Amino acid sequence: MIGKIIKGIGGFYYVHCHSNDIYECKAKGIFRKNNIKPLIGDNVEIAILDEGEKLGNIDVILPRSNQLVRPTVSNIDQAVIVFAVSRPEPNYNLLDRFLVMIEEKGIEAIICFNKIDILDQEQVDAIIAKYENTGYHVYTTSSIEGHGIENLREALYNKTTVFAGPSGVGKSSILNLIQTDQVLETGIVSEKIGRGKHTTRHAELMCFHEDSYVVDTPGFSSLGIEHIDEAELKLYFKEFAVYEPYCKFKGCNHLNEPKCGVKEAVQDGDISESRYESYKQLIDELRDTRRW
């Protein structure tokens, strides 16, 4: 039988199968001998030892499409980067840093601005505008009022999605809603859910719909980018590529070069200033770390 590892505790792996049953499995000694550790997210073939007790053995780990380090999860299809529109104020540099990291891993990214109940529509629009021409889908939600949750949930169907973002922005609250079957567009969210009690320690995949899994991450404290090449960074600001053909110099890094298509696009308002600022700040940071 084929299934997906959703949780690992003390040498046991919990494998979620199409039947919707979860089997408690051990990994065969051969994995340990070959130094292969099953990961959350792995698609595996299991042999059932006891159908009644739901016990099994992991026989085969199917090839992984990718692997994240924090949290350690494999076969991620996409990431939702969650920021609050307020409380805490969005830190766009940090948001762009998340996007860079995810682009670098070749994973699709979605942006979600939560807590829209705190601001009025105009203020929210001004925030979204910064990502308008980036090619990223931007979702707006309020996990307190239930707004936008259903739209977001539909974007997660048939995929394994990691939720990332700073702590306190509402990741766990959103995930709690995504897992409850009827999301209330009108705002009656139970106390327990609304308060976001759930704290995140171990990575665990949660199946909320057929073939649809989500995983929460503890708030990231730091996001190292120092392994990225200075000349490579621009590749991870996807929207720059459209304007690069208008740069006079081949291999233009869009910094001090004259006749730069990207800088012109920023001036014309086609590339968001805050995105370009993030780019320059990250370049400075890369140069500083190289110097040290």
Ligand X SMILES: Nc1nc2c(ncn2[C@@H]2O[C@H](COP(=O)(O)OP(=O)(O)O)[C@@H](O)[C@H]2O)c(=O)[nH]1
Residues that bind ligand X (CB under 6 A): 114-115, 117-118, 142-144, 167-173, 194-196, 219
Sheet holding 108-114, edge to edge: 137-140, 108-114, 78-84, 160-164, 212-215, 205-209
- Inter-axis angle of helices 92-104 and 273-291, nearest 10: 70
Q: Which does 168 bind (CB under 5 to 8 A by kind): ligand X, Zn ion, Mg ion, none?
A: ligand X
Q: Which does 260 bind (CB under 5 to 8 A by kind): ligand X, Mg ion, Zn ion, none?
A: Zn ion
Q: Which does 143 bind (CB under 5 to 8 A by kind): Zn ion, ligand X, Mg ion, none?
A: ligand X
The smaller minimum CB distance to ligand X, of residues 115 and 130, is found at 115
The smaller minimum CB distance to Zn ion, of residues 136 and 246, is found at 246
Helix, coil or strand: residue 79: strand
Nearest to 83 by CA among 125, 139, 133: 139
Nearest to 114 by CA among 160, 146, 77: 146
Structure tokens at 140: 């707006």
Which of 134, 141, 172, 278 is close enough to bind Mg ion by CB under 5 A? 172
Q: How far apart are CA 17 and CA 240, in angstroms?
A: 42
Nearest to 80 by CA among 199, 175, 5: 175
The smaller minimum CB distance to ligand X, of residues 68 and 164, is found at 164
Draw the binding track, 256-285, toward Zn ion (x: CB under 5 A; -: no contact).
----x-x-----------------------
Nearest to 142 by CA among 173, 114, 165: 114
Contact 13, 58 (CB under 8 A): yes
The smaller minimum CB distance to Mg ion, of residues 43 and 217, is found at 217
Q: Which does 262 bind (CB under 5 to 8 A by kind): Mg ion, ligand X, Zn ion, none?
A: Zn ion
Q: Which does 252 bind (CB under 5 to 8 A by kind): Mg ion, ligand X, Zn ion, none?
A: Zn ion
Q: How far apart are CA 243 and CA 219, in angstroms?
A: 34
Which of 200, 253, 274, 281 is close enough to bind Mg ion by CB under 5 A? 200
Single-letter code of the amino acid located at 288: D
Draw the binding track, 147-176, toward Zn ion (x: CB under 5 A; -: no contact).
------------------------------
The smaller minimum CB distance to Zn ion, of residues 52 and 258, is found at 258
**Residue with tokens 């995504």, as numbered in its chain:** 178
In the bound complex, what is the minimum distance in angstroms from residue 9's beta carbon to Zn ion?
A: 50
The smaller minimum CB distance to ligand X, of residues 55 and 118, is found at 118
**Alpha-carbon distances of 2 from 21, 93, 125, 128, rounded to whole Å:** 11, 41, 45, 41
Q: Can you give the length of the chain in residues?
A: 292
Rounded to the nearest angstrom, the gap between the alpha carbon of residue 235 and the centroid of all alpha carbons in its chain is 19
In the bound complex, what is the minimum distance in angstroms from residue 246's beta carbon to Zn ion?
A: 8
In the bound complex, what is the minimum distance in angstroms from residue 41's beta carbon to Zn ion?
A: 38
| Residues at the site binding Mg ion, with contacts judged by CB under 5 A | 171-172, 200
Name the site residues for Zn ion (rule: CB under 5 A): 247, 252, 254, 260, 262
